[in-house]
Structure 1
Amino acid sequence: MSTRTLITTVVVALLLAAVFGLADEQKVGRIEGQLFDRKTQAPIIGASVRIEGTRFGAVTERDGRFVIPNVKVGEYTLVVTHPAYQTLKIEHVVVKEDETTTVVDSLVPKTTELTKKITVTAKQDIIEKFEPSSQTSPPADATRHRPVQTVDNLLEEAAGVQTRPSRKLYIRGGRADEAEYILTGKRGGKPVVPVPLAHGGTTTVNGAAYSGMFFKHYGVNPFVDTEDDHLSTFAVDVDDASYVMTRSYLQDGNLPPEEAVRTEEFINHFTYRYAAPVEKPFNVFLEGAPAPFGGKHVWMLRVGIKGREIPRDHRKPANLVFCIDVSGSMSYGDRLELVKKALRLLLDELTPADRVGIVVYGSEARVVLRPTSIAERQTIQSAIDQLCTDGATNAEEGIRLAYDMADRMFDPRKINRIILCSDGVANVGTTGPDDILKQIKYYADKGITLSTVGFGMGNYNDELMEKLGDKGNGHYAYVDDLDEARRIFVDNLTGTLEVIARDVKIQVDFDPEVVRSYRLIGYENRDVPDKKFRDDNEDGGEIGSGHMVTALYELKLHERAFGRRLGTIFIRYKHPQTGAVAEIDEPIRPEVFRDSYGRASNDFRLAATAAEFAEILRGSYWAKGSSLSAVMSEANTLWQETRNPEVVELVDLILRAQRLRQERAEK
């Protein structure tokens, strides 16, 4: 080997080592979390969170949160210190590439006794931490009189502001995640476009957080004496839009209106460890224990259903029609841009056997893309990218045109689904939900299903979106950010698209000699008359591949009734293709009940905690004796025992609700 060849080989080897070494260094994730006082459950400010053996760490903010970015992939121990609390070590914190590891924990206060009183007095000028060294204030009407479509575009007009190819906003002197701006008094790190008030004027009605939010209150189920009615009948519901919307309210610093909270959708948001059946369509799971929040001598029964799972590569081909609202209201808060991003995620999950068509509607409806194979993905992507907002909202014409396209491409061997992306506002043509629903039944019976996906806060019609999804034999989801879109269109795509059972209804027949009274928690708008349980023309709910349904009952039993069978659960459903009707039953045996709440499964306790949180938020009569602090305590205990990431979010939302209710009480 010549000297030159040797040198070249060594240089190439060094370059390759450097490249691969750099690649290894770039394999990073991030750690974030929140710390609470174990006694008061209040967030802890000023705690030091350090990765043991390194100089990396963070300090908790006013809400107890901390973030440690750019942490190399691996397993770590966090050391938490604070002058007023005992030192805490959190072990086995695993960081994965490009993922966020969430840690929620509590600190034990130190006990200190002073032998004498100490008074410290000091004076210091107040530092305005949010006062900038320089600022630019575009006029309030700039977005209406300048050729811009987003807040980012408007900010780019200021010196030192630019948008990089990654579409992240950079303000000179800081990285993208350090940029912060205020628009009409709201501070944030993401664009916020003010939503015009639905009724005109300058303030919302009755101090509501948002203008033009349409919900319907269905009441709260009472306790029913079994001697009057021993049958409880309802249609299943797998939606969780109410939970996601409540999350948006709370994260924006507002309590949700009571009518926006549907308890069953809080319960069904969470993932429970139900085993999927192999051959039959459902597995049924029963568990009972003393009710944690229902008072003395009240028991709780959990009824869980798990649908058969269809592997992703076994999913049937799909004929999809995207029916997209491009009316003027979809420009607020970048709703249409979020729709585009969500649909891009969905496109990435589809196969060449799938076809997509696109219909849009504003003042009038039109076809943007005729049915096109996913093999021509770029054509579909281009059609989505070119969408822009304009005009009023003729939802009726848009839905009619979408069904017309779906009907022409209908194939009984495939999934035939319309996906409606909208804020639910209809102000041109047929605008009431009942009128629009009349047009859906024929197509639903034929096998063309409708899923509704809601976007936006302010000028939003929850009632219409929920009814369309229910009556269209699909489901209703609400998207508040890209992570939620990913959960619907990526993580749960097969369940979103492929139905394994239609018109699913549940009837529980309680034995009046054992059960004195019962209360179904939630499902008020899914009530089915008892005599129509076996009426196969009566509408039920749909269950997709791998979907879970959970219902909770509070029970009051007769004295000396323990050890006896409580009743029977019946589930009636239709085959998704043939329409053949089947019915299964499951006895409620005493063996499914635990003698104490503490011995119940973590899944049972999570469902009970989520339900009570919802019952308090919606002002349920049966939650008057309960408190968010008690719910918070149970949620925090669940987190300590399970380290379930879903519980982290629940803890955060309960804490936010506590503060907001306290602030409201102090006004």
Structure 2
Amino acid sequence: MSPHRSSFVRPLAVGFSAGALLALAACSASGPEPEAQASKAEVAPVLRERAAKPAAALEMLAEPSQKRMAQLAHAPAPLADVLPPGYRDESREQYQAYADNPVFAVSETPVSTFSIDVDTGSYANVRRFLNGGQLPPQDAVRLEELVNYFPYAYPLPQGDAPFGVSTELAVTPWNPETRLLRIAIKASDRRVEEMPPANLVFLVDVSGSMHRREGLPMVQGTLKLLVDQLRPQDRVSLVTYAGASQVVLDSTPGSDKAAIRGAIEQLTAGGSTAGESGIQLAYQQAQKHLMKDGINRILLATDGDFNVGISDFDSLKQLAADKRKTGVSLTTLGFGVDNYNERLMEQLADAGNGNYAYIDNLREARKVLVDQLGSTLVTVAGDVKLQLEFNPAQVSEYRLLGYENRALKREDFSNDKVDAGEIGAGHSVTALYEIVPAGAKGWLEPLRYQPRTQPESGAGELAWLRIRYKAPGTSTSRLLERPILRAQAQPIATASEDLRFAAAVAAFAQQLKGGRYTGDFDLARSIELARSAKGEDRFGLRGEFIQLAEIAQSLQTSGSPQTRALQ
């Protein structure tokens, strides 16, 4: 990949395309003054990166000297000045593809093991697509991140446990033969005033691709919201990276808000993207000012499109995994469109023991860094793993909804060296299983030669739930165990508002991905279910979801070529 990462632009309103300009540049380079001329390889990156006005480009071609190239490379020619209103470059966004979790027969695979996930970036990213009049790519939809985006009234922890655990069972809205089992985890919240002192490093991508409304300006607005929450005992550093990385603001107390805001406001975008260099410098800065009993966290704000230094996916993940051992966690805040690397952002946060959010507007920024600041910064339980053992006398088949990228091997559950997800203060975590009661019609054909045995013990139990977690600062996990007792599944109409709403969101996510398991249960019925469970909706999030589902419904039925291509 070229160090200059802006792709060729489509033909401009004045009749020139970047490809045509590059061709002219190449022809001009064969003129009569070879010693003073720019080569095609030299001109192309400049035109790509600067997206210069055609007049400026033609002026350069008329006098293709190194001096003229330098003038053009630094000329203030933003992309918005040369593109028609509403223009969007060809999308180069990157998403990780995961197949839906398969159906398991309890007689063959009675145990399900996975790591919890409190990321919410997928929901905000899906919202961005829908508000832009497009259905999201299927790989952009992660069911658990959509479900976990919303607050739920789950029971709070009791005793010395860092989180409460509860379960609920109802008839599955999209399949009357199956049951929907909800496992709910809720950590107690913590006010900002009660948080430990924080050593924060703002790591900001100021490369050329962030020179757009959804890029650096949105980052600046987001970080200034967080500055308002800082206390005198907190400290903030600001590190930037483009072609190179630098410390823009050394560690500064949270009481000096004017200095921190000033450093943020003076940032400008341009150049290539040495992301690995920036991450290394940010960890150095965090380690330099490490607070032994405080919060030590890097907040990486970028579109994730690294192209200088280490840029391959596995190496960057390993870098974050290695650095988390220093006691510094990494939260990723995704910005931008068209070239957004969501795959990297989500998994960098996982590897760095942090969380991932996508910021599509300042309301989302406020949700993540003001309303839920404790959840974002304060970890109450680390390496949290869930394991469910189903009773074959009660359940014949099951499938886990979502968490495809969090699956663990059965033996990983008791291995404290295997990394898992973290729970922040106030976080709600929901896991949904669709299960087939013993004797009911399931997805799998029965085996002819499989011995059929019914256990004599545990007949009153549907499943056995195990949860492992580590207290902050410890390396040995603790184990919670409890039975999930057999219960008459209630109709979905009488289930709790939280279960009904989570079910509506889960159905919506599956429908966006093709609806393999939802049958005739369409978006209209998901909307109806969500409306019935809207409840108090203090922050308006459930109402917004209903509106987004209505947009998706209109896009799915519009029949436009663009919509069909995205489906």
TM range (shorter): 0.7 to 0.9
Aligned partner of residue 306 in structure 1, secondary structure: strand
| Cα distance between partner residues in 2 of 1:251 and 1:306 | 30
- Residue of structure 1 equivalent to 2:271: 391
Alignment of 1:597-616 (within 5 A): 597-616=492-511
Alignment of 1:202-241 (within 5 A): 204=90, 211-241=91-121
Aligned partner of residue 387 in structure 1, secondary structure: coil
Q: Which amino acid aligns with 2:433?
A: Y
Aligned partner of residue 512 in structure 1, secondary structure: coil
| Cα distance between partner residues in 1 of 2:210 and 2:105 | 48
Q: Which amino acid aligns with 2:371?
A: D
- Residue of structure 2 equivalent to 1:659: 554
- Residue of structure 2 equivalent to 1:631: 526
Alpha-carbon deviation of 1:185?
Answer: 4.5
Q: Which residue of the other structure, out of 564, 588, 607, is the alignment partner of 2:460?
A: 564
Contact 1:280 / 1:308 at 8 angstroms: preserved in 2?
no
Q: Which residue of the other structure, out of 164, 170, 175, is the alignment partner of 1:289?
A: 170
Alignment of 1:242-281 (within 5 A): 242-277=122-157, 279-281=160-162
Alpha-carbon deviation of 1:633?
Answer: 2.1
Contact 1:335 / 1:456 at 8 angstroms: preserved in 2?
yes
| Cα distance between partner residues in 2 of 1:142 and 1:556 | 67
| Cα distance between partner residues in 2 of 1:457 and 1:142 | 27
Contact 1:276 / 1:309 at 8 angstroms: preserved in 2?
no
Alpha-carbon deviation of 1:251?
Answer: 0.4
| Cα distance between partner residues in 2 of 1:285 and 1:527 | 21
Alpha-carbon deviation of 1:648?
Answer: 1.2
Aligned partner of residue 443 in structure 1, secondary structure: helix
Deviations 1:184-217 (A, max 9, x none): 243xxxxxxx55x4xxxxxx3xxxxxx1110011
Alpha-carbon deviation of 1:264?
Answer: 0.5
- Residue of structure 2 equivalent to 1:590: 486
- Residue of structure 2 equivalent to 1:68: none
Aligned partner of residue 353 in structure 2, secondary structure: coil
Q: Which residue of the other structure, out of 428, 448, 453, is the alignment partner of 2:328?
A: 448
Contact 2:394 / 2:459 at 8 angstroms: preserved in 1?
no
| Cα distance between partner residues in 2 of 1:372 and 1:407 | 15
Alpha-carbon deviation of 1:148?
Answer: 6.8
Deviations 1:296-347 (A, max 9, x none): 3200000000013223211000001111000000012341011011111101
Q: Which amino acid aligns with 2:479?
A: E
Deviations 1:593-625 (A, max 9, x none): 543111100100000000000001012421344
Alpha-carbon deviation of 1:150?
Answer: 8.9
Deviations 1:346-379 (A, max 9, x none): 0110100001111101011111111111122211
Aligned partner of residue 652 in structure 1, secondary structure: helix
Aligned partner of residue 398 in structure 2, secondary structure: strand
- Residue of structure 1 equivalent to 2:69: none
In structure 2, relative to structure 1, the CA distance for the partners of 1:441 and 1:147 (3 Å cut) is closer
Contact 2:240 / 2:278 at 8 angstroms: preserved in 1?
yes
Alpha-carbon deviation of 1:588?
Answer: 0.5
- Residue of structure 2 equivalent to 1:163: none
| Cα distance between partner residues in 2 of 1:602 and 1:637 | 8
Aligned partner of residue 553 in structure 1, secondary structure: strand
Alpha-carbon deviation of 1:586?
Answer: 2.1
Contact 1:449 / 1:472 at 8 angstroms: preserved in 2?
yes
Alpha-carbon deviation of 1:647?
Answer: 2.1
Q: Which residue of the other structure, out of 480, 502, 508, is the alignment partner of 2:360?
A: 480
Q: Which amino acid aligns with 1:523?
A: Y
In structure 2, relative to structure 1, the CA distance for the partners of 1:333 and 1:600 (3 Å cut) is same
1:408 paired to 2:288? yes
* Worse-superposed segment, 596-605 or 434-443: 434-443
Contact 2:155 / 2:165 at 8 angstroms: preserved in 1?
no
- Residue of structure 1 equivalent to 2:394: 514
Q: Which amino acid aligns with 2:278?
A: G
In structure 2, relative to structure 1, the CA distance for the partners of 1:665 and 1:510 (3 Å cut) is farther
| Cα distance between partner residues in 2 of 1:225 and 1:312 | 46
In structure 2, relative to structure 1, the CA distance for the partners of 1:408 and 1:143 (3 Å cut) is farther
Contact 2:189 / 2:426 at 8 angstroms: preserved in 1?
yes
Alpha-carbon deviation of 1:445?
Answer: 2.3
Query: Which blocks of at least 5 consecutive residues in structure 2 are unaligned?
Result: 1-51, 58-71, 441-453
* Worse-superposed segment, 622-631 or 403-412: 622-631
1:580 paired to 2:480? no
Q: Which residue of the other structure, out of 514, 532, 545, is the alignment partner of 2:425?
A: 545
Alignment of 1:318-329 (within 5 A): 318-329=198-209
Alignment of 1:13-412 (within 5 A): 147=76, 184-186=84-86, 194=87, 197=89, 204=90, 211-277=91-157, 279-293=160-174, 295-412=175-292
Q: Which amino acid aligns with 1:457?
A: V
Q: Which amino acid aligns with 1:422?
A: T
Q: Which amino acid aligns with 1:601?
A: S
Deviations 1:54-85 (A, max 9, x none): xxxxxxxxxxxxxxxxxxxxxxxxxxxxxxxx
Alpha-carbon deviation of 1:449?
Answer: 0.2
1:417 paired to 2:297? yes
| Cα distance between partner residues in 2 of 1:665 and 1:348 | 45
Contact 2:155 / 2:166 at 8 angstroms: preserved in 1?
no
Alpha-carbon deviation of 1:430?
Answer: 1.0
- Residue of structure 2 equivalent to 1:110: none
What is the RMSD of the two structures over their aligned residues, measured on CA atoms? 2.3
- Residue of structure 2 equivalent to 1:650: 545
Q: Which residue of the other structure, out of 463, 477, 486, is the alignment partner of 2:343?
A: 463
Contact 2:125 / 2:360 at 8 angstroms: preserved in 1?
yes
| Cα distance between partner residues in 1 of 2:543 and 2:328 | 38
Instruction: Among all aligned residue pairs of Structure 1 and Structure 2, give the percentage whose two residues are the same amino acid.
Output: 38
Whose radius of gyration is greater, 1 or 2?
Answer: 1
Query: Which blocks of at least 5 consecutive residues in structure 1 are unaligned?
Result: 1-138, 156-182, 187-193, 198-203, 205-210
Q: Return the structure number with greater helix share.
A: 2
Alpha-carbon deviation of 1:453?
Answer: 0.3
Q: Which amino acid aligns with 1:615?
A: Q
The one of the two structures with greater contact order (alpha-carbon pairs below 8 A, sep at least 6) is 2
Q: Return the structure number with greater strand share.
A: 1
Alpha-carbon deviation of 1:222?
Answer: 1.6
Q: Which amino acid aligns with 1:413?
A: D
Contact 2:171 / 2:490 at 8 angstroms: preserved in 1?
yes
- Residue of structure 1 equivalent to 2:410: 530
Q: Which amino acid aligns with 1:427?
A: N
| Cα distance between partner residues in 2 of 1:365 and 1:185 | 33
Alpha-carbon deviation of 1:543?
Answer: 0.5
